[in-house]
């Protein structure tokens, strides 16, 4: 690797390791069941969590660098068992810079019933632009999960998909945006669950959902700061 690439990878190793802490903080993961990756911009490379390593033990050094076929380029450990799914997304969706996978409980409950989360909250309209869709049932170990993610999210506003009987995958322009989507996905899945548990939500007009989505994507946060709103 040339020095510029070396530095970009070092930065992403640090960022990806640190972002796993957000999955823990928001209670999205139990034991080792969740992972974050980042694409190395302009390269056919990604940085991803090693498989089965405790979140306490993650640091920049033990992150794994793979190519976009999931072959390890740097790292002594095996990469996440979900590496093939992450890699497939990066190959198929060129504007995706980060991917996150969790089994966060409320969202996964919707996934286990195969129900999309309908949009009855302004926060969901802001971040997801409408419902959070369900993807197909797919077995691990090949491209099926990746294909299911891509076919569901392509052309969809939502950066999150509920993979049937499995859990959540989210995408973003970078790893931080994908982590934010995972956090917000569980948050709206929970509020939607609590809403439905005692009755029926009131609808939001589709035009209002559109308006909220457009505004949030273009006005919220520190515009021009050159990075994902924190």
Residues forming contacts to a copy of itself in the complex (CB under 8 A) are 26, 30-33, 50-54, 57, 77-78, 81, 103, 105-106, 108-109, 112-115, 120-123, 137, 139-141, 164-167, 180, 183-184, 186-187, 190-202, 204, 208, 211-212, 215, 219-223, 229-230
Q: Which is nearer to a copy of itself, 3 or 230 (CB)?
A: 230
Task: Read off the tokens for 184.
Answer: 């917000």
Q: Which is nearer to a copy of itself, 40 or 80 (CB)?
A: 80
Query: How many other C-beta atoms are found inside a 10 Å radius of the C-beta of residue 160?
Result: 29
Question: In the complex, what is the shortest distance from the CB of residue 153 to a copy of itself, in angstroms, rounded to a whole number?
Answer: 19
Q: Which is nearer to a copy of itself, 40 or 131 (CB)?
A: 131
Q: Which is nearer to a copy of itself, 5 or 118 (CB)?
A: 118
Question: In the complex, what is the shortest distance from the CB of residue 183 to a copy of itself, in angstroms, rounded to a whole number?
Answer: 5
Question: In the complex, what is the shortest distance from the CB of residue 58 to a copy of itself, in angstroms, rounded to a whole number?
Answer: 10
Q: Which is nearer to a copy of itself, 122 or 151 (CB)?
A: 122
Q: Are strands 160-163 and 134-135 parallel, antiparallel or unpaired?
A: parallel
H or E element in which residue 48 lies = strand 45-48
Q: Which residues, 6 or more positions from 69, have their beta carbon under 8 angstroms from its beta carbon?
A: 87
Q: Which is nearer to a copy of itself, 40 or 85 (CB)?
A: 85
Task: Read off the tokens for 44.
Answer: 């056919």
Question: In the complex, what is the shortest distance from the CB of residue 102 to a copy of itself, in angstroms, rounded to a whole number?
Answer: 11
Question: In the complex, what is the shortest distance from the CB of residue 186 to a copy of itself, in angstroms, rounded to a whole number?
Answer: 8
- Name the residue with tokens 């139990």: 30
Helix %, strand %, coil % for the chain, to 5? 45, 15, 40
Question: In the complex, what is the shortest distance from the CB of residue 54 to a copy of itself, in angstroms, rounded to a whole number?
Answer: 4
Q: Which is nearer to a copy of itself, 39 or 164 (CB)?
A: 164
Question: In the complex, what is the shortest distance from the CB of residue 220 to a copy of itself, in angstroms, rounded to a whole number?
Answer: 5
Q: Would you say 188 and 123 are in contact if contact means Cβ atoms under 8 Å apart?
A: yes
CA dihedral over 103, 108, 109, 113, signed as positive or negative: negative
In the chain the beta strands, taken as DSSP E runs, fall at 34-40, 45-48, 64-67, 72-74, 98-102, 134-135, 160-163, 167-172
Count Cα neighbours of 5 within 13 Å in the Cβ-side half-sphere: 11
Residue whose C-alpha is closest to residue 6's, from 36, 45, 37, 35: 45
């Amino acid at each position: 690797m040339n020095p510029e690439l070396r530095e970009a990878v070092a930065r992403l190793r640090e960022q990806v390791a640190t972002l796993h802490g957000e999955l823990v903080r928001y209670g999205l993961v139990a034991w080792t069941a969740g992972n974050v990756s980042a694409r190395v911009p302009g390269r056919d490379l990604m940085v991803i969590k090693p498989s089965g390593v405790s979140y306490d033990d993650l640091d920049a050094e033990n992150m794994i660098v793979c190519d976009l076929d999931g072959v390890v380029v740097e790292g002594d450990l095996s990469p996440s068992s979900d590496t093939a799914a992450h890699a497939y997304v990066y190959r198929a969706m060129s504007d995706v810079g980060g991917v996150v996978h969790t089994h966060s409980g409320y969202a996964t409950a919707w996934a286990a019933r195969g129900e999309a989360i309908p949009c009855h909250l302004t926060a969901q309209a802001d971040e997801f632009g409408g419902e959070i869709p369900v993807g197909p049932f797919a077995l691990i170990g090949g491209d099926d999960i990746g294909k299911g993610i891509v076919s569901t999210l392509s052309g969809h506003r939502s950066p999150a998909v509920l993979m049937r009987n499995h859990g959540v995958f989210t995408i973003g322009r970078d790893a931080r945006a994908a982590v934010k989507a995972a956090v917000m996905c569980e948050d709206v899945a929970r509020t939607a669950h609590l809403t439905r548990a005692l009755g029926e939500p009131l609808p939001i007009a589709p035009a209002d959902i559109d308006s909220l989505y457009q505004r949030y994507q273009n006005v919220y946060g520190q515009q021009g700061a050159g990075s994902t709103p924190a």
